[in-house]
Amino acid sequence: MPTTTYAHFRDVPESAWRWPSFSPAEIACRGTGAIKINTEAMDKLQSLRNRLGKPLIVRSGYRSPSHNRAVGGAPASKHMLGTAFDIAMSNHDPVKFAEAARAVGFLGFGTYPRSGFMHIDLGPARSWGDPFPVRATPFVAETQPAREVLADSRTLKGGGAAGIATVGAAGVEVTHEVLAETQSAILPLVPYLDTLRWVFIAVALAGIAVAIHARVDDWKRGQR
């Protein structure tokens, strides 16, 4: 595994850094500022970043031996080789993260749900730690199909028109009878009332037809 060590991350020349989603400061030792670059590990880390399409928050990259002892790291920690990374899970689903990490070639996995990060390294293949709690997945709010909304609209409009027209036709009937009995001076208007009554009746029938058609159409499509 090709590695390059620098006394401080500021010593890394720009020409030697080819991982655009990360900086030397992110990968360097948190205690001393030293950095050991393992190109294979960094290539896989960049591939993981590209695969997930989200930033990777590196909690720990390279550790110098002294810093590894200070933080209680394993005596043979892969962090000291520059082949391990601790990644925060605050912006990742742990299950999907682990699947993606395996897909790009990481083999070692340590889960730390209380501290909120996952350790990944180049191997050997092994895993340890407690599982992360299952995260609730919110369901998308159910949306009424546009077709059903349209049908309901037609049903309401058709039924409303039928109701209004029926009331109108009844009103014309009453008016017709009253005028015919009490107002002989305006008897010439009675034929026009007959016509108006039939207009209302025609509108009522049309409204009923629209309402029935809308519901039958939905029934045929299984959207009642």
Per-residue pLDDT at 79 exceeds 90: yes
**Which structure tokens are listed for 199?**
């207009």
Tell me the residue range of the domain where 206 lies. Answer: 174-223
Per-residue pLDDT at 60 exceeds 70: yes
- Does residue 52 fall inside a structural domain? yes
Q: Quick one: 95 and 27 in the same domain?
A: yes
Handedness of CA 160, 164, 167, 169 (dihedral sign): negative
- Does residue 145 fall inside a structural domain? no
- The domain boundary, picked from 93, 111, 129, lies at 129
Instruction: Tell me how far apart the alpha carbons of residues 19 and 82 are, in angstroms, rounded to a whole number.
Output: 15
Q: What is the pLDDT at residue 85? A: 98
Task: Give the pLDDT mean for 3-8.
Answer: 96
Comparison of pLDDT for 73 and 150, the residue scoring more: 73
Q: What is the pLDDT at residue 216? A: 74
Q: Quick one: 21 and 112 in the same domain?
A: yes
Summarised one tens digit per residue, pLDDT across range 11-50 is: 999 999 999 999 999 999 999 999 999 999 999 999 999 9
Least confident of 16-20, 72-76, 204-208: 204-208
Instruction: Tell me how far apart the alpha carbons of residues 62 and 86 are, in angstroms, rounded to a whole number.
Output: 10
Q: Quick one: 119 and 46 in the same domain?
A: yes
Q: What is the pLDDT at residue 148? A: 47
Segments of the chain assigned E as strands: 3-6, 35-38, 58-60, 84-88, 108-112, 117-121, 126-129
Q: Quick one: 46 and 117 in the same domain?
A: yes
Comparison of pLDDT for 185 and 77, the residue scoring more: 77
Task: Give the pLDDT mean for 108-119.
Answer: 97
- Please state the domain count of the chain: 2
Q: Quick one: 27 and 95 in the same domain?
A: yes
Q: What is the pLDDT at residue 135? A: 74
Spatial contact of 153 and 202, defined as CB atoms under 8 Å apart:
no
pLDDT band at 52 (very low <50, low <70, confident <90, very high): very high
Q: What is the pLDDT at residue 198? A: 77
- Does residue 158 fall inside a structural domain? no
Q: Quick one: 123 and 43 in the same domain?
A: yes
- Does residue 51 fall inside a structural domain? yes
Secondary structure (3-state) at 77: coil
Q: Quick one: 25 and 121 in the same domain?
A: yes
Q: In whole numbers, what is the pLDDT of the chain averaged over residues? A: 83
Q: What is the pLDDT at residue 215? A: 72
Least confident of 57-66, 118-127, 170-179: 170-179
Q: Quick one: 11 and 88 in the same domain?
A: yes
Q: Quick one: 109 and 28 in the same domain?
A: yes
Q: CATH number, domain at 82?
A: 3.30.1380.10
Q: Quick one: 8 and 101 in the same domain?
A: yes
Comparison of pLDDT for 167 and 89, the residue scoring more: 89
- Does residue 56 fall inside a structural domain? yes
Q: Quick one: 42 and 121 in the same domain?
A: yes
- The domain boundary, picked from 72, 95, 129, lies at 129
Q: What is the pLDDT at residue 78? A: 98
- The domain boundary, picked from 94, 110, 129, lies at 129
- Does residue 147 fall inside a structural domain? no
- Does residue 27 fall inside a structural domain? yes
Summarised one tens digit per residue, pLDDT across range 160-193 is: 666 666 655 665 565 556 555 555 555 565 566 6
pLDDT band at 87 (very low <50, low <70, confident <90, very high): very high
Q: Quick one: 121 and 183 in the same domain?
A: no
- Does residue 159 fall inside a structural domain? no
Secondary structure (3-state) at 207: helix
